Amino acid sequence: MKRLVILGSTGSIGTQTLDVVRQNPDRFKVVALSCARREKEMLEQAEEFGVPREHCYTCNGTYEENVKKLIEAATLDCDLVVNSLMGMRGLEPTYHALMSGHDVALANKETLVAGGSIIMKLARDKGLKLLPIDSEHSAIFQCLEGNQGRVIKKILLTCSGGPFRGKKREDMAEVTAAQALKHPKWNMGPKITIDSATLMNKGLEVIEAKWLFDVEPDRIQVLIHPQSIVHSGVEFMDNSILCQMGIPDMRIPISLALGYPDRLESPDEELDMFGVGSNLTFAKPDMETFKLLSLAYFAIGEGGSCPVVMNAANEVLVEKFLRDQIGFLEFQDKVCETVMKHKVLTGLSLEDVIRIDRETRESLK
């Protein structure tokens, strides 16, 4: 039995993680859960999965109070911490989970965007696993299995293109939150859905891939692949490309991370190769229109505090956009402006990252 702590159990990834546990009751035991606003749902989960009340953490207080509870959960006795939190609040729980000697299954990409060098070094030093849940990174991880040590020529990071694929800047001036929340392929939490509409999500994933697989961003090629069947791939020095495919269902990468190194049997829908095989397309992204993707390449190129600031600005401004307090283009422009104004600091500690994140948020209030 693998004992799991699930941070953010009421969200899109959290509930799908519990689906995988429900399908494999003899393999996993849930020992702790956390939520923010959906406490009733979390307590129902606790009842179903037999999680004691004292290990159910409701994080509806200040940032500091919430992070304290999340760290307490992440450091409980367990075999794997599943981090399905949204946003920068995932960084410290990941750090402390690793410090306590726990492997981490990571959906929370903001952890690596803000603190990639710190987290990867810690995982390496402690000999712990950081298992990616993001479908693209899970795909790359699978393509690299059995290929450790081989030189990677390129990472091919696929991207559905989001709801505004093919649109130009002027077509998106009037976009509302409700429109941007309609993702064509994936049913996800609101923040990542907006990030998918601006392609910032792909930018965050470029940075996540750089840290997870130690590949420089100029060797990470984003491919627009609207069918979302090829989840990403790796090109090696002999020009051979390995890709991973499957239907767009997050329970597949989640079950790989939970069961690793085993593969769990799935009762769900299979990929119909005859149905999709003749219809897989790949195109270059429009880096000019979707400028947050370009910004992410710029930010990781600058390094140090630049991705921290980009991530914080994006989180704050996405939230404002979701509350109809700022327009779709205006919020993206403001993220760019915040990053461009920033003077990059290097050699950051965890405390520096947290401080810079906080200062950026304050400056945008």
Ligand X SMILES: NC(=O)c1ccc[n+]([C@@H]2O[C@H](COP(=O)([O-])OP(=O)(O)OC[C@H]3O[C@@H](n4cnc5c(N)ncnc54)[C@H](OP(=O)(O)O)[C@@H]3O)[C@@H](O)[C@H]2O)c1
CB of 187 to ligand X, least distance (A): 7
CA 144 to chain centre: 19
CB of 312 to ligand X, least distance (A): 14
In terms of CB distance, is 110 or 286 closer to ligand X?
Answer: 110
In terms of CB distance, is 37 or 168 closer to ligand X?
Answer: 37
Place of tokens 């947050």: 292
CA 138 to chain centre: 11
Question: Per DSSP, what are the bridge partners of residue 154?
Answer: 235
Place of tokens 């907006």: 194
In terms of CB distance, is 94 or 108 closer to ligand X?
Answer: 108
CB of 196 to ligand X, least distance (A): 9
In terms of CB distance, is 163 or 236 closer to ligand X?
Answer: 163
Question: Per DSSP, what are the bridge partners of residue 230?
Answer: 245
CB of 80 to ligand X, least distance (A): 16
In angstroms, rounded to a whole number, what is the distance separating the alpha carbons of residues 16 and 11? 8
Residues in touch with ligand X (CB under 6 A): 8-14, 35-38, 59, 66, 84-86, 89, 107-110, 134, 186, 188-189, 191-192, 250
Helix intervals (H) in the chain: 12-23, 39-49, 63-74, 91-99, 110-126, 135-144, 177-180, 190-198, 200-213, 251-259, 273-276, 291-302, 306-322, 328-341, 350-363
Residue whose Cβ sits closest to ligand X: 11
CB 58 within 8 A of CB 72: no
In terms of CB distance, is 36 or 78 closer to ligand X?
Answer: 36
In angstroms, rounded to a whole number, what is the distance separating the alpha carbons of residues 15 and 285? 31
In terms of CB distance, is 108 or 142 closer to ligand X?
Answer: 108
CB of 35 to ligand X, least distance (A): 3
CB 66 within 8 A of CB 74: no
CB of 301 to ligand X, least distance (A): 22
Token digits of residue 287: 């880096």
| Residue 204 Cα distances to 51, 63, 122, 184, 252, angstroms | 33, 22, 21, 20, 21
CB of 352 to ligand X, least distance (A): 22
CB of 58 to ligand X, least distance (A): 8
In terms of CB distance, is 11 or 233 closer to ligand X?
Answer: 11
CB 244 within 8 A of CB 192: no
CB 243 within 8 A of CB 230: yes
In terms of CB distance, is 66 or 244 closer to ligand X?
Answer: 66
Tell me the backbone φ, ψ of residue 31, rounded to 5 degrees: -110, -15
